[in-house]
């Protein structure tokens, strides 16, 4: 499976009544098909997944599968708190034609869940039953739990666990994880503000929210890295980083969606209780994204 290069963590399109907006999902996916992206991640954190029902998640996967170019690798966000539901969503995604499952660390029952032993049991149980190859999803700023390197290394030896998305932003830990896992296990960065450094540290690619409004910029950094034009990669990363930080640390998904609207993609409104940006916040996003079109 091709798990290198740039994957947008797709934003979810809603109309102004809060309903899924199929025409815009198709529009964004078909427009992104024209960029040299490896594939798409559907129903990750950027997709407002906690605000979606399971049938809505499956419908989004169906629409993206319908619109995606044939060569794109499709990764389904199947995160759920139980092994049973996680496996069920992964099975439905497999039937829709997806290629891999992105599995979030369980976190709700923190006292019981936040141990290496329980996390390892969860991922092994999912991987044993999943019809799709599994990617670990480590995003401690959301879950409150940071997978230990030792757990990641042990899980990398499971035959159906093929990689990890690391959104922790901890470059030192990402590099240590790359060194610790078995050969062939892919580590993908989830940090738009610093993924060129992650590539240099051994990441095979990146799954990025910022690739929704700025796919060409993200691919340019990846291509410069592949061509060993490190200075060019760092130059483009320095241009991208302020916009990425503006979204990640200040304006979140509403800010990302406004940036998409600016650059010819459909961002539209977030789903309540997330709210659209104020006029002042929109101006901040517009200033941060100036000169970074498409």
pLDDT for the residue 291: 86
Is 233 within 8 Å of 198 (Cβ atoms)? no
Q: Is residue 66 part of a domain?
A: yes
pLDDT of 293: 66
C-alpha to C-alpha distances, 169 to 1, 69, 160, 194, 221, nearest whole angstrom? 25, 30, 25, 8, 18
36 found inside a domain: yes
Between strands 5-8 and 186-189, the pairing is: unpaired
| Domain count across the chain | 1
Residue 263 within any structural domain of the chain: no
Task: Report yes or no on 242 lying in a domain.
Answer: no
Residue 145 structural domain: 5-230
What is the band of 130 on the pLDDT scale with cuts at 50, 70, 90? very high
Position 282 in a domain: no
**Other CB atoms closer than 10 Å to residue 259's CB: what's the count?**
28
**pLDDT band at 74, cuts 50/70/90?**
very high
Average pLDDT of every residue of the chain: 96
User: Residue 131 domain-assigned?
Assistant: yes
- Residue 240 inside a domain? The answer is no
Lowest mean pLDDT among 49-58, 70-79, 244-253: 244-253
Q: Return d(Cα 47, Cα 251) in angstroms, integer.
A: 15
Q: Which of 2, 24, 72, 165 is catalytic?
A: 165
pLDDT tens profile 197-207:
999 999 999 99
- Answer whether residue 88 is part of any domain: yes
Cβ(260)–Cβ(25) below 8 Å: no
User: Which class for 56: exposed (0-12), middle (13-18), buried (19 or more C-beta within 10 A)?
Assistant: middle
CATH number of the domain enclosing 118: 3.20.20.70
Active site annotation includes 257? no
pLDDT tens track for 53-70: 999 999 999 999 999 999
- List, for residues 207-236, the tens digit of each pLDDT value: 999 999 999 999 999 999 999 999 999 999
Tell the burial category of 149 from Cβ atoms under 10 Å away from its Cβ (0-12, 13-18, 19+).
middle
């Amino acid at each position: 499976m091709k798990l290198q290069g740039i994957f947008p963590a797709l934003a979810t399109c809603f109309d102004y009544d809060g309903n899924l907006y199929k025409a815009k999902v198709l529009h964004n996916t078909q427009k992104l098909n024209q960029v040299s992206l490896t594939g798409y991640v559907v129903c990750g954190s950027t997709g407002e997944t906690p605000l979606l029902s399971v049938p809505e998640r499956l419908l989004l996967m169906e629409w993206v599968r319908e619109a995606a170019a044939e060569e794109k690798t499709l990764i389904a966000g199947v995160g759920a708190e139980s092994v049973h539901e996680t496996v069920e969503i992964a099975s439905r995604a497999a039937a829709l034609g997806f290629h891999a499952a992105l599995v979030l660390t369980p976190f709700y029952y923190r006292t019981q869940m936040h141990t290496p032993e329980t996390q390892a049991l969860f991922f092994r149980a999912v991987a044993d039953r999943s019809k799709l190859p599994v990617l670990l999803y480590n995003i401690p700023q959301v879950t409150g739990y940071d997978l230990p390197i030792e757990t990641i290394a042990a899980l990398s030896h499971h035959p159906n666990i093929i990689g990890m998305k690391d959104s922790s932003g901890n470059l030192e830990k990402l590099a240590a994880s790359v060194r610790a896992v078995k050969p062939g296990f892919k580590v993908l960065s989830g940090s738009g503000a610093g993924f060129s450094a992650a590539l240099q540290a051994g990441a095979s690619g990146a799954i990025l929210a910022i690739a929704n409004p700025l796919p060409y910029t993200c691919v340019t950094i990846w291509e410069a890295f592949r061509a060993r034009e490190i200075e060019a990669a760092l130059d483009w990363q320095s241009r991208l980083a302020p916009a990425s930080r503006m979204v990640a640390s200040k304006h979140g998904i509403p800010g990302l969606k406004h940036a998409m609207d600016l650059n010819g993609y459909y961002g539209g409104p977030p789903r309540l209780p997330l709210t659209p940006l104020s006029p002042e916040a929109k101006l901040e996003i517009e200033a941060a994204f100036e000169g970074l079109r498409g």
